[in-house]
Chains A and B, each alone.
Chain A
Amino acid sequence: MEKDTAAISQRLLNNYDVVVIGAGHAGCEAALAAARMGCKTLVAVINVDTIGAMSCNPAIGGLAKGHLVREIDALGGEMGRNIDATSIQFRRLNTSKGPAVRSSRAQADRLLYRLRMKSILENQENLEIRQTVVDSLLVEDGRICGLITSLEEEIRVRAVVVATGTFLNGLIHVGLKNFPAGRMGDSPSTSLARWFKETGFRVGRMKTGTVPRIAANSIDYSELEIQHSDQPPAHFSFNSAGDYVLPQRPCYITYTNPQTHAIIRAGIDKSPMYAGIIEGIGARYCPSIEDKVMRFPEKERHQVFLEPEGLDTTEVYPNGLPTSLPLATQVAMLQSIKGLEQVRVIRPGYAIEYDYVDPLELKPSLETKRIRGLFLAGQINGTSGYEEAAAQGLMAAINAVHHVRNQEPLILDRSQAYIGVLIDDLVTCGTKEPYRLFTSRAEYRLLLREDNADTRLCQIGHDIGLLDDQAYQKYRGKQTAIEQGVLLLESIPVRPDKATNEVLFALGSVDLKQKMTLAELLRRPELGLAELARLPLDVETQNRVLQLAESAVRDEIQLQIKFHGYIQRQQEQVDRFKKMEALALPEDFEYKGLAGLSNEVVQKLSTVRPLSLGQASRISGITPAAISILQVHLKKMAKKI
């Protein structure tokens, strides 16, 4: 009797709606999202101390990545709040290059970042954390139903999100030495890697790398270029207040030189990359320093950013110097660089190879095509970057919850979010190198701005039960303020009288020839809301314009009005795009034997299994003619049913 009770309570204990494997950037977002949406959730992690760890550089954001963080935030994710609370340097990038491509980037205190994230997870209702190694997954009738840990526990589950990062068959290289590891200091996951292969998933090898960490007190900063934080610092989260920002720290800039390059060339035969030991494919946008030197021999110097790793640590991250050269070569190379002549290396740089699953195995919901209820997120899908991982973790968890509840998956499209661009690229085109998002990958960049991520996504975040009410109310208030502001400006006429033209002249603007609204005047590049407030309007109007000029929504209003023409053009493109997306293709569509389609086209369509004609049209090698023919077949089938 007593034994039975123990067994029952054990079974109850080991029964979850959603299990997330891994607690990096994808795993943390996934675990929090599933729990916040009300599912009984478990996060399984090999080492609890590394929850939310930044394995590579201590920074969040940058071009397209900053956009992702804002989108995650607008949907109710954690990354934005976490970096706001633990950042030691904020910068706005591309401020002179136009509203669509402005982006935020922050240096994090590496330790505080992961401690805060861990604490958020620990205090999240519906969420349990366990230090355990998952060896294999259990499948029944093509549907995930449980998992087995290395201690032979069986856990019953209705959906699983795998976010194992570089841990599947991880292999670290330093020089010609190599050893299995998930990241430096942690054991890899080999059984689960085997499970994926044995289950029939198409698995490949990728490679990434990181820099040696050096000691700040061995660096001579006196001659180096300094880069300060923006003042006042901006924020990632739409809901962060300014009051809990940590002290800000600068970065420093130094450069490699011909001597550095000579040292690297002399040691190149001991590079695991050049010696042919590494088989995984690395990313072209994130080459090791030895790659840069060998591929661009004409470049006399390469930039190195010395980034502090935190407030209470001496460790410094020399950004720009990822390397897997032997440790002695790493030290010699570093010490040839200005400011680093006496530098001490605390941790060596290294390369890591790992297994990834071909993302063409995934549906746009990030569920695998082979096994229902199994979702993959992050580097296991062939991506790179904390932000890319977090975005996938969030979406995978939302769809895992929807799967558990028998709801339709949430799929963001390319006109809604960078998250949509990222996932659509992955599941439609696959990837041959670690995939990173760039703003140039987005067709509708002007509509996908950092500043309007809330406009695009807060409603969705709230509807799916992820974005909390407080954040949602804040968003509603902002929307109302913008709408009213634009309406006001569109409704106030300005007459071409002497008084008006005198003010315009003083503002360096040309005369008004005919009656215009304030909104039309605002399109002139030299005029902003503050300038409009100086026009001879009636006092009440003047005050209202002045209020807008000083309000938090000023930039939004100016942007919407000033870029109206371009926004309109992009919107028209989006309308055409949406029409093709709306033409759904059944998941089990039989392409084989369809008249008019070549074997190659049939093959590609059968692999990708696009969900719409729009998605089909983005598969490389699928011609507009093939789409036309597909459209006719679809119509024919729809009628038959």
Chain B
Amino acid sequence: MSSKNETIAAISTPPGAGGIGVIRISGSRAFEILKQIFKPHDPSCSFRSHQLYYGHIIAPGLSGKNTIVDEVLAVFMRAPKTYTREDVVEIHGHGNFLLLQSILELLLRYPVRLADPGEFTKRAFLNGRIDLTKAEAVIDLLSARTRKGIELAQGQLSGNLYDRVDSIRKALMHMRAIVEVAIDFPDEDLEIINHKELGQQLESKVRVPLALLLRNAEQGKIFREGITVVIAGLPNVGKSSLLNTLLQEERALVTAIPGTTRDTIEEYVDIEGMPVRIIDTAGIRENAEEVEELGIKRAKEQISQADLVLFMIDLAKGISNADLELFHSIRHKQVILVANKMDLLPTEAQNLSEFQKHTLALMQISAKKQQGISELKQAIFNAVVGNREQWEEGGCAPNLRHKDALTRAYTASKRVLDGLQTGITSDLLAIDLQECLAELDAIIGVTSTEDILDLIFQQFCLGK
């Protein structure tokens, strides 16, 4: 029986600054999924059970190119000699919560769902792994975790999020009532809106609010866990000076000799309450000395993982082909172009159009004289969070569980929309609507079958 269980996953180490963090996956598909996201250092490794392997967690990028999420140790443990007596995979990554969260989010793209509170232990018990005398302890654990989970959820859901999810739910229920009444009462003299109007309602009352909630979910994550900004550019364009200015303290070693920063340096700054991890990279240039090579390699990795790149150029030196080449290699990222040394060349009218096409903003600063810094901070905030008013109107931070459900609801709503446009039949439309509704029901913890009948009887005069 256990072999058919759904596969579940969760971060199994407590949040905080631990050295390593463990993600546990349990269920019949655990191994198959590990093989898809884990690239072992030794590609020919045979994944022997209960043996740790070194490698990287990779995420398929939009362009089909993979990006590295984290450097990890992974172990596959074949049932039944595991904690749950199911196939279990553990991924030992860095203790950084943000990284662990990214790995978990990556997992949820596969047929895996988030484990319920206490679910690993429950499975361990049901599969006979835990002694029966411990049953009461398992029950205590389940009910305690569930209570805590409910409190947490209620805290999360109090007010705004609850109301917003509920109003989307109500809109969907209303739409389903319309579809259902037409199905179950075909001979009635009813005025029922057509599919075109339903499509408009879906867009304005379901898809737009759902998209906004999802964006808030992203933003909420940003506010809790911060974002990563990388300062990139050729050697000696003022990257370390900028970091220092942002930190307002001497942290990076600043000299006039190109290539002084030999490794990456990272610091946290607070921009409008958002924790921002700023990484100063070694200046990237070709023909670097051997000692620098490692730093440059790391810089490239850092850039690939950054939420935002500040690409610096030195106006005093003018724009070189090396600048253009480097820019070309990073322009797929979110980039703010930072033109340094405006104090030296305040009226310089350089041709920056080649850059501007691919950047979010062009900021002229003087790192040394601290000019244009507050504008730059504002630009960073806007680039990450977007329109501030929109965020404040959202005013809530759904957690990963919510985000997962919201994402699936959004996907289902797309099927409804496609269905309305291609004119699929009502029975199929109802299936897609119901799937969308069920995701939102799960967030609030209700079901809506009987409610839809209530809605039908309230709104329509029936009874042929």
Q: For the complex, is B324 an interface residue (Cβ under 8 Å from A)? A: no
- Assess the A628–B125 pair: CB atoms within 8 A: no
Digit string of A397-425 for contact with B (CB within 8 Å is 1, else 0)? 00000000000000000000000000000
- Assess the B184–A570 pair: CB atoms within 8 A: no
Digit string of A626-641 for contact with B (CB within 8 Å is 1, else 0)? 0011011101100110
- Assess the B186–A628 pair: CB atoms within 8 A: no
Give the number of residue pairs across the A-B interface with Cβ within 8 Å: 131
Q: For the complex, is B267 an interface residue (Cβ under 8 Å from A)? A: no
Q: What residue in chain A is nearest B435 (Cβ atoms)? A: A569
Q: Which residues does chain A contribute within 8 Å of B140, judged by CB atoms?
A: 595-596
Digit string of B2-31 for contact with A (CB within 8 Å is 1, else 0)? 001010000000000000000000000000
- Assess the B452–A100 pair: CB atoms within 8 A: no
Q: Which residues does chain B contribute within 8 Å of A438, judged by CB atoms?
A: 180, 184, 453
**Contact stretch, chosen from B72-80, B289-297, B392-400, B420-428:** B420-428
Q: Which residues does chain B contribute within 8 Å of A441, judged by CB atoms?
A: 449, 453
Q: Which residues does chain B contribute within 8 Å of A295, judged by CB atoms?
A: 461
- Assess the A98–B426 pair: CB atoms within 8 A: yes
Provide the bound-state CA to CA distance between A439 and B150, in Å: 33
Provide the bound-state CA to CA distance between A241 and B330, in Å: 74
Provide the bound-state CA to CA distance between A632 and B142, in Å: 10
Interface residues of B in 417-464 (CB under 8 A from A): 422, 424-428, 430-431, 445, 449, 452-453, 457, 461-464
Max chain B C-beta neighbours (<10 A), residue from A99, A303, A439, A628:
A628
- Assess the A98–B146 pair: CB atoms within 8 A: no
Q: Which residues does chain B contribute within 8 Å of A147, judged by CB atoms?
A: none
Q: For the complex, is A94 an interface residue (Cβ under 8 Å from B)? A: yes
- Assess the B428–A285 pair: CB atoms within 8 A: no
- Assess the A97–B189 pair: CB atoms within 8 A: no
- Given A285-B457, A292-B463, A570-B431, A439 contacting B116 (CB threshold 8 A): no
Provide the bound-state CA to CA distance between A40 and B186, in Å: 43
Q: For the complex, is B374 an interface residue (Cβ under 8 Å from A)? A: no
Which one, B1, B126, B180, contacts A632 given CB within 8 A?
Answer: B126
Provide the bound-state CA to CA distance between A302 and B460, in Å: 12
Q: For the complex, is B138 an interface residue (Cβ under 8 Å from A)? A: yes
Which one, A97, A320, A631, A632, contacts B463 given CB within 8 A?
Answer: A320
Q: For the complex, is B187 an interface residue (Cβ under 8 Å from A)? A: yes
Interface residues of A in 416-459 (CB under 8 A from B): 438-441, 445-446
- Assess the A566–B431 pair: CB atoms within 8 A: yes
Provide the bound-state CA to CA distance between A440 and B457, in Å: 13
Max chain B C-beta neighbours (<10 A), residue from A96, A98, A99:
A98
- Assess the B463–A636 pair: CB atoms within 8 A: no
Q: What residue in chain B is nearest A575 (Cβ atoms)? A: B4
- Assess the B463–A94 pair: CB atoms within 8 A: no
Digit string of A575-597 for contact with B (CB within 8 Å is 1, else 0)? 01001000000000000000110
- Given A446-B428, A595-B136, A625-B146, A440 contacting B463 (CB threshold 8 A): no
Provide the bound-state CA to CA distance between A139 and B378, in Å: 84
Q: For the complex, is A195 an interface residue (Cβ under 8 Å from B)? A: no
Give the number of residues in B that approach A within 8 Å (Cβ atoms): 45
Tell me the interface secondary structure of chain A in the complex: mixed
Digit string of A295-306 for contact with B (CB within 8 Å is 1, else 0)? 110010111010
Q: Which residues does chain B contribute within 8 Å of A635, judged by CB atoms?
A: 125-126, 132, 135
Q: For the complex, is B185 an interface residue (Cβ under 8 Å from A)? A: yes
- Assess the B143–A292 pair: CB atoms within 8 A: no
- Assess the A629–B428 pair: CB atoms within 8 A: no
Provide the bound-state CA to CA distance between A19 and B194, in Å: 52
Q: Which residues does chain A contribute within 8 Å of B427, judged by CB atoms?
A: 97-101, 445-446
Q: For the complex, is B151 an interface residue (Cβ under 8 Å from A)? A: no
- Assess the A629–B139 pair: CB atoms within 8 A: yes
Digit string of B180-201 for contact with A (CB within 8 Å is 1, else 0)? 1011111111000000000000
Q: Which residues does chain A contribute within 8 Å of B142, judged by CB atoms?
A: 596, 625, 628-629, 632
Interface residues of A in 297-356 (CB under 8 A from B): 299, 301-303, 305, 319-320, 322
Q: For the complex, is B122 an interface residue (Cβ under 8 Å from A)? A: yes
Q: Which residues does chain A contribute within 8 Å of B428, judged by CB atoms?
A: 98, 100, 446, 563, 566
> What is A's interface to B at a CB cutoff of 8 Å?
63-64, 93-94, 96-101, 255, 284-287, 292, 295-296, 299, 301-303, 305, 319-320, 322, 438-441, 445-446, 525, 563, 566, 569-570, 576, 579, 595-596, 623-625, 628-629, 631-633, 635-636, 639-640
Q: Return 26 A-B CB contacts under 8 Å, by A number.
A: A63-B183, A94-B426, A97-B186, A97-B426, A98-B425, A98-B427, A99-B427, A285-B457, A285-B463, A287-B461, A301-B189, A302-B189, A302-B461, A305-B464, A440-B430, A440-B452, A441-B449, A445-B431, A446-B428, A525-B422, A566-B428, A579-B1, A596-B143, A625-B142, A625-B150, A632-B135
Instruction: Knowing that A98-B428, A303-B189 touch, tell me 17 more A-B residue pairs with CB under 8 angstroms.
Output: A63-B184, A63-B185, A93-B187, A97-B183, A97-B425, A101-B183, A255-B189, A292-B461, A295-B461, A303-B188, A438-B180, A440-B184, A579-B4, A596-B143, A628-B122, A633-B135, A633-B139
